[in-house]
Amino acid sequence: MKHDILFISDLHLALEKTEITRRFLSFLQQRAVEAKALYILGDLFDAWIGDDDNTPPNPTIKKALRQLTDSGTDIFLLQGNRDFLLGENFCRETGIKLLEEYAVIELDGQRILLTHGDLLCSDDLAYQAFRIKSHSTEWQGNVLSKPLWLRLLVARWYRLRSYFHKRGKTPDIMDVNQQTVIEMMRHYDCHTLIHGHTHRPNLHEFTIDGIPAKRFVLADWKPLGAELLCWKKTGFEVEIV
């Protein structure tokens, strides 16, 4: 019987990232198939420009995800800042269940808060303003109405622009704001938070109103190695895949 619960984020799958794609497909077939559930907390893809995009390696990835859900492993997905256009058609094709930007699950009676992590970077005002605009129905409808070839070109331009914008920002601005973290954990009545986005894997321990709290930051996947967070009956463990 399947018991383990797995958490991953920030794979940034793309055509040119062949080794990460290979590692992910192997992970789905060998490790994830043994798990009860897999939670993907955003940025599975380096860019997602619509569910109609079947350029490589998307068909292969969708097929592997479908095989995993058909095997009995539940897959839950949070949209990230790179793949927030992932929609219902993608979920129907793969059997994945789409989660809200903040989601609460229970593990052995513990309430666990899940999010991608970009909403917690509240000091990055320019990004937060763009996020509000880009998540509007009007903005997304306008983007998705464009031909696929044009969306592919624009996505490449956005990735390049994002790279240079990040070089001009301080590391602190691109990290989470601890007060925002506490406020969200209070709001959802959780003392454990799991997120990605920042590419700064770590376990942060602190207190909220005198009660111990934990914040797990998931690792981004790299060609030479990848990490996941696994929940077992004995607690959380980091695994190398």
- The per-residue pLDDT for range 40-94, each reduced to its tens digit, is 999 999 999 999 999 999 999 999 999 999 999 999 999 999 999 999 999 999 9
d(CA 179, CA 34): 37
**Confidence at residue 221, expressed as pLDDT on a 0 to 100 scale:** 98
**Confidence at residue 199, expressed as pLDDT on a 0 to 100 scale:** 96
Average pLDDT over residues 173-184: 94
Band of residue 2 on the pLDDT scale cut at 50, 70, 90: confident
- The domain locations on the chain are 5-240
Q: What architecture is domain 5-240? A: 4-Layer Sandwich (3.60)
d(CA 232, CA 228): 13
Average pLDDT over residues 191-201: 98
Band of residue 195 on the pLDDT scale cut at 50, 70, 90: very high
What is the pTM assigned to this prediction?
0.95
Q: Which residues contact 13 (CB under 8 A, 6 or more apart)?
A: 20, 21, 24, 44, 45, 46, 57, 61
In the predicted model, is pLDDT for residue 178 greater than 70?
yes
Q: Please write the tens of the pLDDT for every residue from 95-107.
A: 999 999 999 999 9
d(CA 201, CA 220): 8
Band of residue 168 on the pLDDT scale cut at 50, 70, 90: low
C-alpha 81: how far from chain center: 8
In the predicted model, is pLDDT for residue 159 greater than 80?
no
d(CA 83, CA 46): 7
In the predicted model, is pLDDT for residue 160 greater than 90?
no
In the predicted model, is pLDDT for residue 164 greater than 60?
no
Band of residue 209 on the pLDDT scale cut at 50, 70, 90: very high
Average pLDDT over residues 21-41: 97
Average pLDDT over residues 25-34: 97
